[in-house]
Amino acid sequence: MGRTSKDKRDVYYRLAKENGWRARSAFKLLQLDEEFQLFKGVTRAVDLCAAPGSWSQVLSQKIGGQGSGQVVAVDLQAMAPLPGVTQIQGDITQLSTAKEIIQHFEGCPADLVVCDGAPDVTGLHDVDEYMQAQLLLAALNIATHVLKPGGCFVAKIFRGRDVTLLYSQLRIFFSSVLCAKPKSSRNSSIEAFAVCQGYDPPEGFKPDLSKPLLDHSYDPDFNQLDGPTRIIVPFVTCGDLSAYDSDRSYPLDLQDGSEYKYTPPTQPPIAPPYQEACVLKKTGRLAKEIRPQDCPISRADALSQPLAAPQRHTQLAPEVWKWGSEPISTPAQCASICPQSCGLGAEILFPASQ
Amino acid sequence: MYRSHAARSNKTTRPRGAGLTSTGWAGGSEARRSWPPAARAPRASREGAGEDGPSAGPANRERDRVRRRVAIGPPPPGSLLPVAKGSVCNAACWRARPVLARVRRLSRLCGSRSDRRTNMDALGDYVWPRATSELILLPVTGLECVGDRLLAGEGPDVLVYSLDFAGHLRMMKRVQSLLGHYLIHGFRVRPEPSGDTDSEAMVAVFGSKGLRVVKIGWGESRFRELWRSGLWNMSDWIWDVRWLEGNVALALGHNSVVLYDPVIGCLLQEVPCTDRCTLSSACLIGDTWKELTIVAGAVSNQLLVWYPAAALTTNKPVAPDRRVSGHVGVIFSMSYLQSKGLLATASEDRSVRLWKVGDLRVPGGRVQNIGHCFGHSARVWQVKLLENYLISAGEDCVCLVWSHEGEILQAFRGHQGRGIRAIAAHERQAWVITGGDDSGIRLWHLVGRGNSGLGVSALGFKSRSRSGTLKAVTLAGSWRLLAVTDTGTLYLYDFEVKCWEQLLEDKHFQSYCLLEAAPGPEGFGLCAMASGEGRIKVVPINTPAAAVDRVLFPGKVHSLSWALRGYEELLLLASGPGGVVACLEISAAPSGKAIFVQERCRYLLPPSKQRWHTCSAFLPPGDFLVCGDRRGSVLLFPSRPGPLKELGAGGKAGAPGTGDGSDGGKSDVAGWGPVSTLHSLHGKQGVTSVTCHGGYVYTTGRDGAYYQLLVRGGQLQPVLRQKSCRGMNWVAGLRMVPDGSMVILGFHANEFVVWSPRSHEKLHIVNCGGGHRSWAFSDTEAAMAFAYLKDGDVMLYRALGGCTRPHVILREGLHGREITCVKRVGAITLGPEFEVPSFMQPDFLEPGSEGPGLIDIVVTCSEDTTVCVLALPTATGSAHALTAVCNHISSVRAVAVWDVGTPGGAQDPRPGLTARVVSAGGRAEMHCFSIMVAPDPSTPSGLACHVMHLSSHRLDEYWDRQRNRHRMVKVDPETRYMSLAVCELDRPGLGPLVAAACSDGAVRLFCLAGLWAASAAPWLKTFHHKAGCPQGALPLRTRPPASGGESWGCVYYVCIWESLLLFPRIDPGCSLLASREAACVQCSHGRQPAFWDLTTCWTRLPCPGASPGAWASLPAGHPLPHCPGPQLWCQQPGHPAHT
C-alpha cells in the first residue's frame, strides 16, 4: 500500500486535501447546504465540536463572505487557529460556554448551530449510539441557549435503534426535522445528519444547562407503534447525482485532465490521546512482557527440576438439557466420555474432543 | 439417510412442541428447510420466487406445510440486523454489524401457512408468531465467575459454563434473551452472608438501560434458573451496579446514582451530582447506602468521587468530593481493590493508571498516582485488580497481566479482531478468562513471576577438557542432545544426567560437518554426520564404536535428511554435488549392536543454482518419497526404483542430465528423476520441511507459507496455501499435536516461534538469534525441546507438555471483523452415531429439529480477510467453524456458491456436501476453491471440511511484476469487488459465469473456464458505465445521469438471472448460452439499477487469439478456446477498465 492508496480509495479525502479542507467532512456540509440552503441569510453561526475544523472552514468561507458574518467554533480539544473563526475551547455542557458564544455575537443569538461531533467509536454499537445521542442532546441543549427562533440546527446522528426517540425530542424544538445523508458520507457508515429548521421551543420552555436533556424513554411498545403516533422522519439523500461517490475508487487522473500530485494532509491532529503511547512505542519504551526465557540464562543444573507440569483441561461436550432427567455427569460417565481425564490432570491434553 | 433418522426420531423421548404434527421427513433437505432468500445463492432465486408470497398450487402448499421456516426476523430490536445500504438493499450481504450471524426461527408455527392466510381476513387482530433467535454470535461483553461457574453475556443471552476442578470445562446452558433487546454489559453477584455462591446465587444482569435479577442454582450439579425478576428499564445508561443488601445501587449515564429495589422494580432514591456530565464509566464502592461511594469517569477525562448519601433529600444534587485528572483520554473501565486501597483505570490514551487511594469511602483522602502503565498498542477497554495482579485488556486483542509495580508478567494473545471486551478472574484457580469481540471465550493461567515451567538454560559446553568450537547441534529424541565441533568431535549431552560425553572423534569431519539425528521418539539412537569430502558417518549413539563410514561423493555433502516409515524402513538422504541425492538404507542387526548402511539408489534433482534437497518424508503407504529442495520445489520420487522397473522401458524415469558429465562422468552416479515436481512452490528461499499426515502432504518454506498437497495418480497437487502469522517469514516446520490441530514452527525476526493457527497464539517464543544458526527441535507429548548454538555454547529451551500450552479455548471465536456476506451451501444429516449432545431446552422444539443432527453448512466471509465454512447444527444452537481459508490479502466482501453436490455423486448415500465457492474482495482479488464437508467423528462438530484451492485472480497482478514500481505512481483505482453473482452454464467442462460488481464503477464478467485444471480465471468482459454504452453489451435499461461527467459511482450489487420471457433469443448461433435463452446482469449504482443483456455481449465477445464473435460460430460441443486470463492485463496496464 503506497501513500496514494487512500487517495484512490476515497475521492473525498483526496479532494479535501487538494482543496485545503482539514477533513473530508467539509463536503458533507457543502452538500447539505446544496440541498437545504442552510447558509441563506445566516450571519452568525456556531460550530460545536469543531475540531479539526473543516466545518468551521466551510462556515467562514460561506458566511464570512457575506460581510458581517461571524463564526464561533467550540471544542473541548485544542484546534489549530483558522482565519475568520473565533475559537472557544470549552465544554458544551457548561453554561459559561453558552454565555461566551452569545458574548461573541454581542448579545445576538445565532442563526445556525452545527455539530459534527462524534465520540471515538468503540465498536460496541449500543454504546456508540448512546454516546452519540448524548452528544447530540448536549448540542441541542446548548443550542436552545444560543439559537434564535426560526434558526437552524444541524447535527450528526447515528441511525441506530433509538433514533426515533431523538427525532421525537428534536421535533419538540423544531418545526421541521429531516434526516439527510450527503453523498460524501459513506454508505457503510451509519451516520446521517439531522437537519432541524425553524427553531420553535415549546411554550414556557426555559433553557437549562444544569440538567442534561435525557432521551425520551420508550413506552414499552412505542417502537412497535405505527400510524399517526409514530413520527416518521423523512430521509433525504443529498448531493448531486453527478457528485463523486464516496464508496467508489477513482483512478488518480480524474476527468478534468489535471495531473495528479500527492498532497499531504492539510492539518494533522493536535495532541491526540494516544500521542504519548505512540512516542513510547516509537522509542521502544512500551512495557514489555518479562519472559522467563529472556531472563539471564541460568545454568541447566541450577534449573529447578522437575518442572511442574502445567495443568490441563478437557472440554466436554455441552450437557444435554432435559427436564427432570438425571444428571449425566456422574464420575463414571465423565470417565467414559474422557477416559484419561479423571483424577490425573496432568495426563490430559489441550482441549480434546470428547 | 433420512430413513435412519426417521426411525430415530420416533424413538426419541424428548417432548415435542405442542400442537405440532410430526410430518416426518418428506422431501429433500432443500425442500424441507428454506433459508432466507437473503442468504441464498442467487441460483436459488429461481425456485424461491414465491418464497414470501402466497404459495402457488397445492403442491407448494403441502411443501410449505412440512417445511420448517427459517427466516431473518423483523427489523431489529437491538440494532442487530442489517443496516440498509442507501436505497438498494444488498440482499445477498448481511451487513452484520459485529460478529454476528443471527439466525431466527419462527417458533410455534401453528398449522400451515395457507391456513393462516385464509384465516387472515377473519382474524383482523391476528397475532403473528414472533421470531426468536436460534443462535446468536456476538461480542462477549460480560464475564463473571460465580463460584466455579462462569457467566458470559453475549448479546442478550447468558452462557453458563462450569469450570470444574477436575479439569472439565463444559458449557452448561444458554439462557436466551435474558435482557430483551439490551446487550449484557455486566453481572453483579449478590454477596451471600455465608460467602457461599456454590449452590445458588442472586445475580444482577445489566446492560444499556436494562436491569434484571436472576436467581440461579446448581442443585444436582446442573444449572437451574430458580427465579427471575422483570426487566427493569432505567431512564439512563447503567454504568455500574452494586448490591446493597437487598437493593441495588446503579450508577447512571449522567452522573447520578439510583437506589433501586430489583425485586419489585421500584426506584427508591435518585441522587444526581452537581456536575451532570456524561460518563464513560463508573465504579460503585461500599456495601451500604451510607458508605456508598461512586467513582465516575467523565468524558472530560477526569475521575469524580462523590457520596450519594450526602444528599439530604432526594434529588438534591451532591457536589463531587474529589476530582482526579491524569488520563488524556476517556476512561473506559476501573477497578477498586479495597484490601490494598488501590484503584486502577483504563483509558483511551492506551495506558492503565494505578492510583493509591486508600479507603475511598472516607471523604477527602489523598489520591496518588503510583503507576502509569503503557503496554497496550491500542485503547484499553477493561481493567481488573486482583490481590497480586492487575489485568488489563484492550482493542489490541492482548490481555496483559501486570504486577502492582507496573511490570508485565504475562501477555495473553490469541483473540482476533477488534479486541477483548470482557475479563473475569478466578483467583483461587489463578485463571483469567477473556471474552473477545470475535465472540470467543478463552481461559488462561496466571503463573506469576518466572514460574511458567519454561526456560532457557546454557548447557555449559565450554570447558578446558573440550577443545574446539561447536559447529552443529541436533536433538535425538527429547532428552538427548548431540553436538559436533570443528575438530570433528561428536559429543552427547543427556538432560537427565546433565553432563557431556565424548562419543567419537574423526579428523574427516573437521571444519565442515553436517549433523542430523534420526527422527522418531528417541531418534532410533542414530545420528548421521557428513563431511566436506563426500563422506557420511552413521553413528549409533549408544555404541559409537559401531559407526559406519561411507564415501558417497567426490565433493561436499550439501545436506542430510532422514525419512522414516513406521518402524520398518529408515532412509538417509544425502545431497552431493550436481544435484545427486544418495539414498541410503539403514538397518540394524537383530542384536542391535551393529548397523548396516546400504546405498539403495540415487535421485537427481532438477537443475538450479543451489541444487540440493532440504527435507524428505515417506508418503504413506511408502512407495514414494516426498522431498523439498533449496530452490523451493517439491518433488516426488519412487522410494524403491526397483530393478524390475529399471529393466523396463523408460525405467530411468525422466533423468535429464544423467549423462551430462556433471558427476565426473561416472555413469553409475546417474540418478532417478522425480515422477512429479511442483517447481518453485515455496519460492527461491527453499522448502524447509515436508510432513505427511492424514492423507495430505504438508510442506513449509521460507516464503512464510505452508502448503497442503495431495498426491493423486502419482502426481503432486497443491490443495491449499496458508500463510503463517504475520511477520513470520521463515516457516521451519509443522507438527501435529494430539488434539488434531497443527502447530507451526518458524522464525520471526530473531525469535523462534511455535505458533498455533487454531488459536492464533504464539505458544512458545525463544529469542535465539534467528534461523541461520544451527538449531534443533524435538517434541513429544510430554515435553518439547529447542536447542541452538549461541556464544559457543548450546542453549536449550524446554517446556513440559509438548508444544501446546495449557490455555483453553472455551469457545472458538468466529470472524474478528464485520461479516460481509453469508451464503448457505446446504444441509447434512448425520446418522445417530454422530450425534452431538444438545444443551438447548427441547421443550419448544418443532418436529424435525430433534434427533440426529441436521447440520446447515454456510460460508461466511469477513473483513478479516478470511472465508469461513460454518456448521450450524440445528439441535445444539452452536456454531462450529470447520475451516477458515485465508488466501485473501485484503477484506473479503462477497462469496458465491455453486455446483453443490454430494461427494459420491447422486447415488451415493454417504452424507456429505461438496460445493465450489468463489470469494472476492479488496484489492480486486478473487479466489476460487472447492469444499468438501464430510463426517469425521474425531472433531467436536462431527464434520471435517476439506478445502482445495482452484485458482485465483487479481486485476492488478501485473503491478506486482513491475520493476521499479516503488518509484512510480499507480494511477488505476484500488478496485474492490463489492458483490458477486454466479450463473452456471449448461456446458460440460465450462465453469460458471461470474459477474463481479466493482468499486470503480464497472461490472466485470468472468468465465471460470479451465478452472479444473487449476488455471487462472480468464477475465471476460468489463461493463463500464462511464463509457456510456459499453462495448459489446447493450444496456437495456439505464437511467442517464442527471448531468454529464463522472456520474457512475461504486457498483454495490450485481445479480444474474435468466428470463425466458423477457428476452427473446437474440443470436441463435450463440452456442454458449443456447440453453439459457438470455441472461441479465443487474448492477445497482447506489440508487440506480442498470440492466444488461448478456446474450448480446456474448456474441460480440472479443476472444483472445480469435476474431471477435468467434465463439458464436463455434460448433456445438467445441471446447472453449483457451483464455490466458491475466495476460490480458499485462498488455494493458494503466487503464484496464477503460478498454
pLDDT digits (tens, 9 = 90+) for B944-964: 888 888 777 777 776 777 777
* 8 Å CB contact between B205 and B177: no
pLDDT value at residue A196? 93
Q: Is A232 on the interface with B (CB under 8 A)?
A: no
Per-residue H/E/C for B803-816? CCCCCEEEECCCCC
**B642 has pLDDT over 70:** no
Q: Which residue of B has its CA nearest to A329?
A: B221
Distances (CA, A) of B1129 to B959, B968, B994, B1019, B1101: 9, 18, 18, 9, 17
Would you call B408 an interface residue with chain A, using a CB distance cutoff of 8 Å? yes
pLDDT of B478 above 70: yes
The reply, when asked if residue A55 is annotated as ligand binding, is: yes
**Chain A / chain B CB contacts < 8 angstroms:** 357
C-alpha separations of B106 from B25, B47, B131, B459, B844 in Å = 19, 21, 4, 67, 11
Enumerate residues 297 to 326 of chain A having a beta carbon within 8 A of any beta carbon in chain B: 297-303, 307-323
What is the mean pLDDT for each group of 10 consecutive residues in chain A (354 residues)? 75 86 91 90 90 89 75 86 87 82 86 89 88 89 90 90 82 90 84 92 80 60 44 70 72 67 80 87 84 54 43 50 36 35 30 32
Whether the pLDDT of residue B988 is over 70: the answer is no
Which pLDDT does position A242 carry in this prediction? 61
Say whether residue A34 is in contact with chain B using an 8 A CB cutoff.
no
Which of A183, A224, A279, A313 to mutate to probe the B interface, most B CBs <10 Å? A313
- Predicted pLDDT at B175: 84
CB A345 within 8 A of CB A312: yes
Partner-chain contact B419 A277, CB within 8 Å? no
Residue B1021 near residue B1097, CB atoms below 8 Å: yes
Distance from CA of B977 to the nearest CA of A (A): 11
Give mean pLDDT, residues B81-87.
29
A5-278 carries CATH number 1.10.275.10: no
Mean pLDDT value across residues B307-324: 85
Q: Which of B130, B170, B379 to mutate to test the interface with A (most CBs of A within 10 A)?
A: B170
Which range, of B377-391, B442-456, B505-519, averages the lowest pLDDT?
B442-456
The reply to whether B97 touches chain A by the CB within 8 Å rule is yes
Catalogue the E-assigned strands of B136-217: 140-146, 149-154, 157-163, 168-175, 186-189, 200-207, 210-217
Lowest mean pLDDT among B657-666, B882-891, B901-910: B657-666
Is B450 in contact with A303 (Cβ distance < 8 A)?
no
B78, B237, B374 member nearest A280 (Cβ): B374
**And the C-alpha cell for B962?**
513491475
Which segment, A302-306, B723-727, B791-795, is predicted with the most confidence on average? B791-795
Per-residue model confidence (pLDDT) at position B798: 85
What would the mean pLDDT of B695-708 be, rounded to a whole number? Answer: 91
End-to-end CA distance of chain A: 45
Q: What percent of chain B has pLDDT over 90?
A: 27
The residue in chain A having the minimum alpha-carbon distance to the alpha carbon of residue B1087 is A241
Helix/strand/coil for B60: helix
pTM for the full predicted model: 0.79
Q: How confident is the model at residue B731 (pLDDT cuts 50, 70, 90)?
A: very high
* Of the candidate ranges B216-220, B293-297, B583-587, B762-766, the one whose mean pLDDT is the lowest: B216-220
Option in A218, A312, A317 nearest B167 (CB)? A312
Task: Give helix A95-104 / helix A125-146 axis angle, nearest 10°.
Answer: 50
pLDDT for B5 beyond 60: no
Confidence of residue B714 (pLDDT cuts 50, 70, 90): confident
Distance between CA atoms of residues B453 and B924, nearest Å: 47
A-chain CB neighbours of B15 within 8 Å are: 323
Q: What is the pLDDT of residue A190?
A: 84
| B450 vs A120, A295, A329: nearest CB | A295
Distance from the Cα of A69 to chain B's closest Cα (Å) equals 31
Cβ-Cβ contacts under 8 Å, A295 against chain B: 450, 455
pLDDT-based confidence at B167, cuts 50/70/90?
low
**Domain ranges in chain A?**
5-278, 312-349
Residues of B in contact with A334 (CB under 8 A): 166, 168
Q: Give residue for cell 460524501.
A: A184
What whole-number percentage of chain A has pLDDT above 70? 72
A219 is known to lie in a ligand binding site: no
Please judge whether B169 and A290 are an interchain contact, meaning their C-beta atoms are less than 8 angstroms apart: no
CA-based nearest residue in chain B for residue A351 = B808
Q: Which of A109-118, B117-126, B549-558 has the lowest mean pLDDT?
A: B117-126
Find which of A12, A77, A241, A288 to mutate to test the B interface (most B CBs within 10 Å of its CB).
A241
Q: Is the pLDDT of residue B812 over 80?
A: yes
Q: Who wins on pLDDT, A206 or B124?
A: A206
The answer, for B836 touching chain A at a CB cutoff of 8 Å, is: yes
pLDDT of residue B779: 83
**Is B406 in the A-facing interface, judged by CB distances under 8 Å?**
yes
* Domain ranges, ordered by start, for chain B: 817-833+852-956+973-1024
Judged on CB neighbours under 10 Å (0-12, 13-18, 19+), B10 is exposed
Q: B79 and A161 in contact by Cβ < 8 A?
A: yes
Reported as a single tens digit per residue, the pLDDT across B1112-1138 is 323 333 333 333 222 222 222 222 232
Of B14, B456, B970, the CB nearest to A4: B970
Beta-ladder partners of B69:
B34
Q: Can you tell me the distance from the alpha carbon of B349 to that of A280, in angstroms, rounded to the nearest whole number? A: 12
**A250 CB near a chain B CB, below 8 Å?**
yes
Tell whether A49 is within 8 A of chain B (Cβ). Answer: no
Q: Cβ of B876 under 8 Å from any chain A Cβ? A: yes
- The answer to whether residues B403 and B390 touch, using CB atoms and an 8 Å cutoff, is yes
Return the amino acid letter for A157. I
Name the nearest CA neighbour of B412 among A292, A289, A285, A286. A289
Nearest to B807 by CA among B404, B434, B556, B375: B434
Please give the share of chain B, as a percent, with pLDDT higher than 70.
Answer: 68
Q: How far is B1132 from chain A (nearest CA, A)?
A: 15
Q: What pLDDT, in 10s, does the model give residues B337-382?
A: 999 999 999 999 999 999 999 998 888 888 899 989 999 999 999 9
**Predicted pLDDT of residue B1049:** 67
A352 with B168: Cβ contact below 8 A: no
Nearest CA to B399 out of B369, B442, B370, B430 is that of B442
* Nearest by Cα to B392 from B379, B380, B406: B380
Query: How close B454 comes to chain A (CA, Å)?
Result: 7
What pLDDT does residue B1069 have? 32
Instruction: Give how far B172 is from chain A: nearest CA, Å.
Output: 6
- Which residue among B375, B458, B1050 sits closest to A245, beta carbon to beta carbon? B1050
Q: Is A294 on the interface with B (CB under 8 A)?
A: yes
Q: Give the catalytic positions of A in this structure.
A: 156
Nearest alpha-carbon partner for B1129 in B1104, B1094, B1107, B1098: B1104
pLDDT attached to residue A84:
84
Asked if the C-beta of A189 comes within 8 angstroms of chain B's C-beta atoms, the answer is no
pLDDT tens for residues B215-235? 988 776 678 888 999 999 998
Q: What is the mean pLDDT of residues B624-640?
A: 92
Give the nearest partner residue to B976 out of A123, A249, A252, using CB atoms: A249
Q: Enumerate the residues of chain A whose CB falls inside 8 A of the CB of residue B329.
A: 273-274
Q: In this predicted model, what pLDDT tens digit does every residue of B1065-1104 receive, in sequence order?
A: 333 333 333 333 334 454 444 455 565 655 544 433 333 3
Choose the closest CB to B457 out of A217, A298, A313: A298
